[in-house]
Amino acid sequence: MYSIKAITLLTGLPAETLRAWERRYASITPARSDNGRRLYSQQDMEKLTLLAQLTRNGHTISKIAGLNCEALRNLQRQTQAPHKDSAHPLPDRIIEALLDYRIDRCEQLLKRALVASEPLEYARDILLPALKKVGELWHQEKLSIAQEHMFTCCVNRIVLSMANNLQNASANSPAMLFATPSDEPHECGILLSCLLAAVQQYRCFFLGANLPGKDIVEAVHHLQPDIVVIGLVKTPPEPTTIEQLQIVVAAKEAAASTVWIGGDGARYWHQHSASPNCELITDIDHFYSKAQQWMLLDKV
């Protein structure tokens, strides 16, 4: 279920417009939480996205609000001219926009994909390949550092905003903390894991990348997460990264938490320096299934 903040983020519709469409035209009827807040389903999200696109193309909301998603999609196909790049895969379209410094276009494509995809598919099949392609092009000097940073910031903005809106704020819900140790600048893995944890109603604390071990330990002490998720991408990890990770796993503050370590560098670390209270996460699907299992056990 999506909050009204999440809907406004993904559709671009102001909250006032959403309420007006609901009140005047009965376009959708969102569910309500225990405290009376609106909760939108995936189908609600899809319909509102279609309504937003069609009204921007000149259709009157009063004439289309009562149509279902299939009818709205048919109307969209009839009234929109085929886009010149509609036949190209999404990653290619994203890269094309990024090469032209069209970060607004990148964000539009990523938001559309988020609406149309399940969270795991979005993380695994869209974001990960896109981020990998951007990294490859940067290493080949076909993208500038500025373009790579623009795209990374765009992804971070979308994912963290969604995670913030989807996560469970209840103090009774299990919590995860996400970080990478010093000299490990890659935060893609922990970022996507944060989104998937939020979808499953974990409380999420995203610290980001390249943190000294003592700072991660201090955060664990104050936030007391059930699970600490560490990302390691560099293979092999830098000596400083190993040193700072050892500080985390050896700290008494982390003893009450389970430590999950994922990424290409995590496999290397697990073979050479693994700690008994750490679990290796092999990929994004593995993380998602383990998070599901943990949540089910917590509710038993």
Looking at the fold, whether 133 and 197 belong to one and the same domain comes out as no
Looking at the fold, whether 61 and 151 belong to one and the same domain comes out as no
- Cβ-in-10-Å burial (0-12, 13-18, 19+) of 87 comes to exposed
| Separation between Cα atoms, residue 223 and residue 226, nearest integer Å | 9
User: Domain range spanning residue 152?
Assistant: 90-163
Instruction: Answer whether residue 214 shows pLDDT above 90.
Output: yes
Within a domain: 226: yes
CATH of residue 154: 1.10.1240.10
Mean pLDDT across 135-149? 91
Looking at the fold, whether 120 and 36 belong to one and the same domain comes out as no
Within a domain: 84: no
Q: Which helix (H) or strand (E) holds 25?
A: helix 15-25
Looking at the fold, whether 75 and 97 belong to one and the same domain comes out as no
Q: Determine the pLDDT at residue 56.
A: 76
Q: Among 65, 88, 87, 86, which Cα is nearest to 75's?
A: 65
* Tokens of residue 285, six digits: 């699907």
Looking at the fold, whether 179 and 292 belong to one and the same domain comes out as yes
30-34, 165-169, 256-260: the lowest-pLDDT one: 165-169
| Separation between Cα atoms, residue 185 and residue 187, nearest integer Å | 6
Total-model pTM: 0.72
Mean pLDDT across 213-235? 94
Looking at the fold, whether 95 and 186 belong to one and the same domain comes out as no
Looking at the fold, whether 230 and 140 belong to one and the same domain comes out as no
- In tens, the pLDDT along 72-86 reads 888 877 765 444 444
Domain boundary pick from 79, 112, 129: 79
Mean pLDDT across 189-196? 93
| Separation between Cα atoms, residue 24 and residue 19, nearest integer Å | 8
CATH of residue 215: 3.40.50.280
User: 228 versus 199: which is more confidently predicted?
Assistant: 228
Per the structure, how many domains does the chain have? Answer: 3
User: 100 versus 86: which is more confidently predicted?
Assistant: 100
Domain boundary pick from 24, 52, 79: 79
Domain boundary pick from 133, 163, 193: 163
Q: Determine the pLDDT at residue 43.
A: 83
Within a domain: 85: no
Looking at the fold, whether 121 and 191 belong to one and the same domain comes out as no
* Tokens of residue 171, six digits: 């103090």
Residues 183, 122, 164, CA angle at the centre, nearest 5°?
70
Looking at the fold, whether 178 and 294 belong to one and the same domain comes out as yes
Answer whether 95's CB lies under 8 Å from 136's CB.
no
Looking at the fold, whether 62 and 110 belong to one and the same domain comes out as no
Looking at the fold, whether 158 and 187 belong to one and the same domain comes out as no
Q: Going along 212-296, which residue ranges are E strands?
A: 227-231, 258-262, 278-281
Looking at the fold, whether 75 and 33 belong to one and the same domain comes out as yes
At 152, phi and psi to the nearest 5?
-60, -45
